[in-house]
Chains A and B, each alone.
Chain A
Amino acid sequence: EAGVVQSPRYKIIEKKQPVAFWCNPISGHNTLYWYLQNLGQGPELLIRYENEEAVDDSQLPKDRFSAERLKGVDSTLKIQPAELGDSAVYLCASSKTSGSAMDTQYFGPGTRLTVL
């Protein structure tokens, strides 16, 4: 079974430029998550999707961040414009559902963003 796929693995951009990250979850997983992981810290949830609906985006900085999951499968996270403080690893995860701790979240390898 293929795991969670993310691309690109690494991205270097100038500040004020836009950037997008792509995630393809495990087949059959209805719930998709985007996390932000700063250096030396644990992941923090940005947004959670149930199928194509964003059910928790309370931690997403909506002035510059946006996300979509149009067909309830793969998802894109965008930053526009990027700031120096956005340098971090962006993780995507998926699970069959989100309501139970028994539904393990499976993580992708992440995209490491560097903003210069």
Chain B
Amino acid sequence: GDSVTQMEGPVTLSEEAFLTINCTYTATGYPSLFWYVQYPGEGLQLLLKATKADDKGSNKGFEATYRKETTSFHLEKGSVQVSDSAVYFCALFNDYKLSFGAGTTVTVRA
């Protein structure tokens, strides 16, 4: 079945540091890929998505590129802020179903 593997956390960074969270997937067919974010005390919300190979999703300074050859969708941000502290989930959509990775907790220190 479909599965998503993402970098284990927790990840702790200083403000303005570069963030990357690795995500790889296994799926049949042509899934769409997502990053969801969960801020403390809030529900999951969509951060960005890419629906086909080589697409780049971007939002709030975050970017991720759908790499079919490496089955990856790594999340990056060039300069993180304290407000980026959250749990980040990589997910894929295939056959009407959204499958999530285990989540990566990111803490940004001032």
Where the two chains meet, the residues of A that have a C-beta atom closer than 8 Å to any C-beta of B are 3-4, 33, 40-45, 48, 56, 91, 93, 98-99, 101-102, 104-110
Contacts and interface: CB of A to CB of B under 8 A. Distances in A.
Nearest to B33: A101
Given A4-B43, A40-B103, 5 more contacts: A3-B43, A40-B102, A42-B101, A91-B44, A106-B46
Given A101-B32, A101-B51, A45 B43 contact: no
Q: Is the interface of B mostly helix, strand, loop or mixed?
A: strand
B27 to A, nearest CB: 12
A43 B51 contact: no
Contacts of A101: 31-32, 34, 49, 51, 93
Interface in B1-58: 4, 31-32, 34, 36, 41-46, 49, 51
A5 B98 CA distance: 20
Contacts of B46: 104-106
B100 A42 contact: yes
Nearest to B45: A107
Contacts of A56: 96-97
27 contacts: A3-B43, A33-B98, A40-B103, A41-B102, A41-B103, A42-B4, A42-B100, A42-B101, A42-B103, A43-B89, A44-B100, A45-B97, A45-B98, A48-B97, A56-B96, A91-B44, A93-B44, A98-B96, A101-B32, A104-B49, A105-B98, A107-B43, A107-B44, A108-B43, A109-B42, A109-B43, A110-B43
A43 B96 contact: no
List the 9 closest pairs (A to B, CB-CB), nearest first: A42-B100, A101-B32, A107-B44, A101-B93, A107-B43, A109-B43, A41-B102, A104-B46, A43-B100
Interface of B: 4, 31-32, 34, 36, 41-46, 49, 51, 89, 91, 93, 96-103
Nearest to A40: B102
Contacts, number: 52
A99 to B, nearest CB: 7
Most chain A CB within a 10 A radius of its CB, from B32, B41, B91, B96: B96
A31 B42 CA distance: 21
